A and B are shown apart, each in its own frame.
Chain A
């Protein structure tokens, strides 16, 4: 207890230096926690996004991803479409539990995105869409009255943006077409929140794409048959098969690469903090050479001196660890906003997840760091010979 109070007193002597050193440790810990929280949050959000698509396999027309890239980069351009016969053929496969055809179409709206213009995504779907997404509930209204009805169901955010309610109308400017809003979906936290849904046949009619589809979502009875199923579709002309598991794996591989980079940054931050702590404590030891000599001369053992200095270092890291955790918690929303600005196509949901175990882990890490960083200064201090220390300190 006495040693702790002595260590505290020593740290308080140089308040600014101690404060800055604690600040350095805190920043390193906060960076570490934020990066690891981002890593966990991003993976969870992405998994959630992909899982909530409801299907394990997506069949699209060949070339579709490239068209999609154009769509994203230029805010326009058309998707590539396949014939509905593909769906009719695939749907007979006994391995399929659920299957849904989709027709995505986009329209450019010059008023969107703060006047810069943006795309509105319309999705033609059939009744089977709901079977694949049983979690899609209605906030108000109901499903389409018919397969070819001039009706739409709007995702939560799209409805909010346009202030639409069930019973209202929407207007598609470029097609000069008016449709009735029959339902609003509850918020799902996925891309569906921004989509305007309509019956598949209606979409094929009004976008002048008769018998065309942009995608087919498939859920298998047995996920173990995935490889065989994919293999069987590879020979179909004009289409490509995208397994969601594969997509997830690819993204996670990319995330792993970026994780190595972020971990390196965190490691460098910690290394700088450790060097800062060692430097501060060493300076403190050198400044107190005479004092340490006197302490030894009046009976303090090598172990006593070692413990005092070691404790000082550990205290700095403990305080830095606590402060770093607090900064990380308070800064979560800021970090999230920055990430969303830098990564406009980030998945929805919480991107930075800071769990108690992460905070505890980082705190323990800071303590271990303090223990390690304190060994050398403590050893230097405890190794001083009393007479030489008193003489050199004069």
Chain B
């Protein structure tokens, strides 16, 4: 009897819980927000889809600003995005937004925290599947993005992978054999910042090249 029950649990249930829903919200918002913004007193969680925000025209705008096509399956209009407005008292002291970015070996979940001016103050991989994951996760690599803003990333052309002007030229790929994941990271961060800009300022004023 017990064997049968356990077998049934194995074959009916065990596999079901190993994969959670797709989306990139923070693993533990209470913990993660406090870790990134120690002085915060709270945060607001906002959920939004591109369909709600502007639909297909917005998708076109984002693709143009990103300089790349969005994946029709994993980056479509219905993907729910979560971003966090971090508060100190009633004042926002920063924003946190994570995105899923297709990497070479699996999904990259990149979480970007910015100050109220949308300047990156922290960045980490919530999830990364790569033989060189530790190099990408290292503070030496992620620390390079501190201080960058969306306009900086507009100088990075995803289509031909050229790093023109600015700061991105200073970002070095810490990995030895994963240039694809390095490029995916840059694309992910750029997409993250573009989306955050739209979330905060709406379709009319968001994502504007400054």
The residues of A with any CB-CB pair to B shorter than 8 Å are 46, 49-50, 53, 58, 60, 64-66, 68-69, 71-72, 111-116, 118-121, 157-158, 160-165, 168-171, 173, 176, 178, 191-195, 240, 242, 246-247, 250-251, 254, 344-348
Contact = CB atoms under 8 A, between A and B. Distances in A.
Dominant SS among interface residues on chain A: mixed
A161 B20 contact: yes
Nearest to B108: A163
Contacts of A116: 27
B7 interface: yes
13 contacts: A50-B12, A60-B7, A69-B9, A111-B126, A112-B19, A161-B19, A162-B129, A163-B102, A163-B103, A163-B106, A171-B106, A247-B11, A345-B14
Contacts of B10: 64-65, 68-69, 71-72
B46 to A, nearest CB: 19
Given A65-B10, A115-B126, A178 B105 contact: yes
Given A161-B19, A170-B129, A171-B129, A191 B11 contact: yes
A388 B27 CA distance: 73
Interface of B: 1-20, 22, 27-28, 71, 73-74, 100, 102-107, 109, 126-131, 133
A246 B16 CA distance: 22
B105 A170 contact: yes
B168 to A, nearest CB: 24
Contacts of B13: 72, 191, 344-347
Given A161-B22, A161-B107, A171-B130, A194 B5 contact: no
A66 B6 contact: yes
B8 A251 contact: yes
A195 B11 CA distance: 12
A-B complex: 10 closest residue pairs judged by Cβ atoms: A345-B13, A191-B15, A115-B27, A65-B6, A171-B105, A68-B10, A111-B127, A114-B27, A162-B106, A250-B4
A114 B20 contact: yes
Contacts of A60: 7
A199 to B, nearest CB: 19
Contact of A68 (B9, B27, B107, B126): B9
A219 B129 CA distance: 38
A238 to B, nearest CB: 15
A194 B15 contact: yes
B11 A53 contact: yes
Contacts of B20: 112-114, 118, 161
Given A121-B15, A344-B13, A345-B12, 7 more contacts: A50-B8, A58-B11, A115-B27, A115-B28, A169-B104, A195-B15, A345-B16
A69 B6 contact: yes
Contact of B6 (A68, A119, A162): A68
A257 to B, nearest CB: 12
Given A170-B105, A191-B14, A191-B15, A242 B27 contact: no
